Amino acid sequence: MTVGHSGHPDYTGLAGSPSPARRFALVALIVLVFVGAGIGSAFAQAGDAQAGKLVYERKCALCHGEKGDGKGPAAELLVPKPRDFTTGVYKIRTTANKVPTDRDLFRVITDGMPGTSMPSWAVLPEKDRWNLVAHLKTLAPDTFKEAPKKLELPKEVASSPESIRRGKEMYEAIECNKCHGTDGRADGPSRPELKDDWGNPIAPANLTMPWRFRGGSAPVDVATRLANGVVGTPMPSFIDSVEKPEDVWHLANYILSLGPRTLTYATLVSVTNVSDAIPDDPDAAFWKAIAPNHIALLGQVIVDPRNFNPSIDLVSVRAVYHDKEIAFHLTWDDPMQSVEDAAKKTYADAISLQFPPQPRPGPERPYFLMGDASDGVYLLRWQNGKGVTEATANGPTKIVPLAGSEATAKAVYANGQYRLVIKRPLASKHPDRLTFQPAVFTPVAFQAWDGGAGETGTKMSLTSWYYLRLEEPQSNRRFVVPPVVAILTFAALLLVVRVANRRA
């Protein structure tokens, strides 16, 4: 039963260990909350559907539609489509039947659905969110006639190398790869065929990016999705379809071992100074030692044709240089390797790095969307099947390749991921090609195209300007100077003491 503030420790904001000084206030607050629960639970339990309707009309109807049928004015731009509440079909449930608990609904409203257009509504007062829950239930009265039945999961198995190994074994045995791909990057052979229950194309989850899991990325969330399936999507229920019930935990542990739980995005792209030769092979061990800069990309929605649902939203950049060359190692997921093919309506997968043509003092930069007529940009572009080119651009539709490219590139595509190394001489005599200088903040931006998803031209994902900084060579002076200073100081001290002693 979902009741009151006290029943929802996750959302009270009271977690953490308070200082002794605050303890009294905290206890008082808890008592207050408990006392208030009598009143509080009244709306938490039942919620006020009428009040919820008013909140719904202000906050939800734009996407989910006035009647809750998922046909709001914004719906057509969204992938996945907003939920049609009149069907009573809910993806994220902790129940064994099709009826979500009030708390399941409350959680989605509060946390949103990562990786979709559904944001967190934690900004709304808790009371409003419970009222929304009550209103949603009135939109599918038939579904909510039945009581939610709690899903009983087997006892949790903590993650361990053994559990992860067993999970991998099960992953292969039950063929998760058919949709989610061998390495979990959503590139399985069934991917292009997948449709939801309403006939809309739907992509499987990229299991290496748990921060985008719709229903959360805690082991219990993943195990619940596996056990229950995701209703309305191709994801089936597996609780009766694993060898042993506890395999859902092993699978969850394996899946969560495929990628980091969260990602720290870079604010600055730092370029490491190296003395060794820079390898061309993107899979060389050399690159693993370089820290990646994770860059988030968004759909290009300024110029027609726009890209409201970009395929690529993350590029990890490793960058190094030495006195002659600079190299960029780029890693990004793309579910299908594609080249330009008019018959299949696919285009070449591509990525580009954008710089001002020359270093410039001051904060002024060209327009981030590939420059404009008066202030252009310099591009290092790589296209699958064509390789790397250098170009200048005065806007996204005015790209002019530069003759005599000095850049080289080597790409690897495997299991839904591109890894690419682009190299270029550090300096260039050509006025349109940037000369990279150490210790200077150089503007850089990124653009990416998933040609298999029909992305080409202005249909791209991109970033605004970031800064690139070539870290200065690490000299050995830092190991020499401080000890010398220390020794000299100590010697001076001894001298002072000795002189003082002699005088005394």
Q: Restricting to residues 87-116, which ones interact with another protein according to CB under 8 A?
A: 98
Q: How many residues touch another protein (CB under 8 A)?
A: 23
Q: Which stretch binds another protein (CB under 8 A): 185-193, 354-362, 447-455, 484-492?
A: 185-193
Instruction: Collect all residues with Cβ–Cβ distance below 8 Å to 422 and sequence separation of at least 6.
Output: 327, 328, 330, 353, 380, 382, 388, 407, 408, 409
| Residue 14, both tokens | 């009271």
DSSP 3-state of 414: strand
| Residue 248, both tokens | 């859902």
User: C-beta of 77: minimal distance to another protein in Å?
Assistant: 26
* 196 versus 432: smaller Cβ distance to another protein: 196
Per CB under 8 A, the list member of 56, 85, 121, 238 interacting with another protein is 238
Determine how β-strand 298-299 pairs with β-strand 461-462: antiparallel
DSSP 3-state of 485: helix
DSSP state of 87: G
Q: Which stretch binds another protein (CB under 8 A): 52-60, 240-248, 266-274, 282-290?
A: 240-248
Per CB under 8 A, the list member of 15, 152, 161, 240 interacting with another protein is 240
User: C-beta of 190: minimal distance to another protein in Å?
Assistant: 5
User: C-beta of 93: minimal distance to another protein in Å?
Assistant: 13
Exposed, middle or buried, 499 (CB in 10 Å: 0-12/13-18/19+)?
exposed
User: C-beta of 346: minimal distance to another protein in Å?
Assistant: 15
Q: Which stretch binds another protein (CB under 8 A): 234-242, 300-308, 312-320, 489-497?
A: 234-242
* 151 versus 303: smaller Cβ distance to another protein: 151
Determine how β-strand 461-462 pairs with β-strand 441-449: antiparallel
* 52 versus 204: smaller Cβ distance to another protein: 204
- 462 vs 370, 431, 466, CA distance in Å? 10, 25, 11
Q: Restricting to residues 139-178, which ones interact with another protein according to CB under 8 A?
A: 173-175, 178
* 242 versus 353: smaller Cβ distance to another protein: 242
Residue 194 within binding range of another protein, rule CB under 8 A: yes
Say how many C-beta atoms besides its own lie within 10 A of residue 489's C-beta: 10
Instruction: Collect all residues with Cβ–Cβ distance below 8 Å to 347 and sequence separation of at least 6.
Output: 338, 340, 341, 449, 451, 454, 455, 456
Q: Please report, as ranges, the residues that interact with another protein according to CB under 8 A.
A: 98, 173-175, 178-179, 189-190, 193-195, 197, 229, 231, 234-238, 240-243
